[in-house]
Amino acid sequence: MLSLIFRALLLVLPLSSLASPLTERACSTRSGVTHTFYGFPDNDPPGPATAYNCGGRNNVAGGVGTYTNPLTFASAPGEFTTCEVIYVPYLKKYARFEDYCAQCTTDWQSGK
């Protein structure tokens, strides 16, 4: 499965809004975003394991990109809330923060 690496947030949709009516969602938008795509061979150790267990996936990357079954993405810890769901206009899919990225952490701490 594909883990997506994001260095900045595009559009945040809180996971708690899954149970809320669509009209009640709060969101924000960010620009200047960098996407880097990695697959499970790039994971450390290689494989589909994720750092956080979100949505009952048992720490395994996955998803199809819908709001109820978002893709897995990785980023710097603290940049997103664990299990936070975002919409990625570039992909026209939803993604959930389920893994961390060492390079993202370095970049985020240095202001990149």
> Could you give phi then psi for residue 96, rounded to 5 degrees?
-125, 135
For 13-66, the pLDDT digits (tens) are 444 444 444 445 577 887 777 778 877 777 777 788 999 999 889 999 999 999
For residues 29 and 6, which has the higher predicted lDDT (pLDDT)? 29
Of all helices (H) and strands (E), which one includes residue 96? strand 93-100
Whole-angstrom distance, CA of residue 68 vs CA of residue 54: 12
CA–CA distance, 70 with 17 (Å, rounded to integer): 14
pTM, two decimals, is 0.70
- Fill in the amino acid letter for 23: T
Residue 36 has what pLDDT?
A: 80
- Residue 40 is predicted with a pLDDT of 72
pLDDT bracket for residue 84 (50, 70, 90): very high
